[in-house]
């Protein structure tokens, strides 16, 4: 069985290169799920012709807007426009339920008066644990990123395949475990040479490249400096609309 991975959004928080916020859509047998759902994700889905209601599960790595702030818009559309009837599961770091409620009320004042007509399940995942979410097996790792955002890296197994994703994170000792044997390892790579806290840059990745025992590695979340060099490096880089079968 193969999985289809659509890189709906591959940008950073600040629209570098005109790219949309992080959102990867994975089609597995009988299940479509998203990994991260940044603020611009409804636009990203519309651009590539993916119906909002067709996503069964959303996995969130952390609570920065470019990774999770599309969820309230999806919920509003599901209630008002797209008239969703099928269940939705949102699984993210600890505090997912409270954080989604907070940002939902902040972004759509008055929305607290609305009750979805479909089942919504929120799952909160601690790090270094394994969770079964329907057919998905999700293993979580602590990421090195803004601590208030509850940063998490995750490894998702489904239909005999593994997709691993750093989320936003500096290099850390868990990344080799995260990537090991993955059919697809998606790594953030924010800068080409500049060293920044809480993120990875290209030299960090190259220094540890041999520790990434993944079958395929794709770089994402590139800022302007990294984007300027993306065409000149041998590693594979994501772009909005890239579709990969694994």
Interacting residues with Zn ion (CB under 5 A): 64, 66, 168
Smallest distance from the beta carbon of 174 to Zn ion, in angstroms? 17
The residue among 70 and 161 lying less far from Zn ion, judged by its C-beta, is 70
Q: Per DSSP, what are the bridge partners of residue 156? A: 138, 163
Smallest distance from the beta carbon of 193 to Zn ion, in angstroms? 19
The residue among 72 and 223 lying less far from Zn ion, judged by its C-beta, is 223
The residue among 36 and 56 lying less far from Zn ion, judged by its C-beta, is 36
Smallest distance from the beta carbon of 16 to Zn ion, in angstroms? 11
Smallest distance from the beta carbon of 67 to Zn ion, in angstroms? 5
In sequence order, the 6+-apart residues with CB closer than 8 A to the CB of 15 are none
CB atoms within 10 A of CB 211: 13
Whole-number Cα distances in Å, 127 to 108, 131, 150, 200? 30, 10, 9, 20
The residue among 16 and 111 lying less far from Zn ion, judged by its C-beta, is 16
Four-residue CA torsion sign, 203, 205, 211, 213: negative
The residue among 84 and 187 lying less far from Zn ion, judged by its C-beta, is 187
Burial of 180 (0-12, 13-18, 19+ CB in 10 A): middle
The residue among 56 and 66 lying less far from Zn ion, judged by its C-beta, is 66
Quickly list DSSP for 196-208. -TTS-BHHHHHHT
Smallest distance from the beta carbon of 146 to Zn ion, in angstroms? 6
Residues 118, 67, 165, 203, Cα dihedral to 10°: 180
Instruction: Give all strands (DSSP E) within 53-119, no chain letters.
Output: 57-59, 88-93
Smallest distance from the beta carbon of 188 to Zn ion, in angstroms? 7
Question: CA 21, CA 6: separation in Å to the nearest integer?
Answer: 13
């Amino acid at each position: 069985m193969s999985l289809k991975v659509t890189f709906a959004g591959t940008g950073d928080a600040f629209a570098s290169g005109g790219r949309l916020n992080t959102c990867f859509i994975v089609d597995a047998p009988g299940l479509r799920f998203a990994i991260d759902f940044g603020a611009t994700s409804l636009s990203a889905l519309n651009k590539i012709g993916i119906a909002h209601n067709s996503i069964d599960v959303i996995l969130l790595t952390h609570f920065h807007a470019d990774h999770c702030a599309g969820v309230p818009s999806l919920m509003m559309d599901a209630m008002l426009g797209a008239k969703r009837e099928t269940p939705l599961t949102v699984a993210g770091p600890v505090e997912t339920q409270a954080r989604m409620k907070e940002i939902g009320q902040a972004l759509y004042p008055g929305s607290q008066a609305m009750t979805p007509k479909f089942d919504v399940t929120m799952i909160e995942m601690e790090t270094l644990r394994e969770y079964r979410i329907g057919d998905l097996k999700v293993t979580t790792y602590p990421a090195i990123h803004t601590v208030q955002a509850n940063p998490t890296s995750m490894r998702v197994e489904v239909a005999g395949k593994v997709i691993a994703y750093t989320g936003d994170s500096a290099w850390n000792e868990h990344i080799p475990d995260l990537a090991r044997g993955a059919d697809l390892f998606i790594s953030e790579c924010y800068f080409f040479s500049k060293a920044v806290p809480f993120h990875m840059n290209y030299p960090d990745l190259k220094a540890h490249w041999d520790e990434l025992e993944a079958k395929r590695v794709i770089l994402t979340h590139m800022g302007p400096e990294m984007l300027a060099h993306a065409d000149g490096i041998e590693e594979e880089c994501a772009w909005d609309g890239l579709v990969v079968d694994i």
